Amino acid sequence: VGNPHNIVINEETGYAYLVGSTRSGSGYRVCSGGLHIVDIREPLTPVFSTCYGGDGYTHDAQCVIYHGPDVRYHDHEICFAYNENTLTVVDVTNKNSIVMLSRTPYQDVSYSHQGWLTEDHAYA
């Protein structure tokens, strides 16, 4: 990975999520510009885990151990991906089987730069 737009770190799990990544000088979008997932539990030896580019380019994200109102996903690692024109929610708990939980287009917005969850994880 040459140029990620941002690096999102979930300190609870020890994973980094590089978003909006391109390969240096090529313009090629790594992981379709989506979540490029790296295990950083051993910070001196980071290890590529997997990609998730199921909704294309992610401009920013927040990845948390979820404790919001939907009890089906309590204690799951959930990423809220802010994808220019959608909010895409992805369960990344099992890095070998990442699941898109929802994809919501923004109404009357041409570009969304980022977002953040409320403290109770009820709203993004």
Looking at residue 99, its pLDDT comes to 97
Looking at residue 71, its pLDDT comes to 97
In this prediction, the residues of the chain whose per-residue pLDDT falls under 70 are 1, 24-28
Looking at residue 112, its pLDDT comes to 74
Looking at residue 2, its pLDDT comes to 72
Identify the three-state secondary structure at position 56.
coil
Strands (E), 4-70: 6-10, 15-19, 35-39, 47-52, 60-65
Which amino acid would we find at residue 23? R
pTM comes to 0.92
Looking at residue 24, its pLDDT comes to 61
Looking at residue 114, its pLDDT comes to 85
Q: Which two tokens mark 117? A: 């969850």
Nearest to 117 by CA among 90, 79, 86: 79
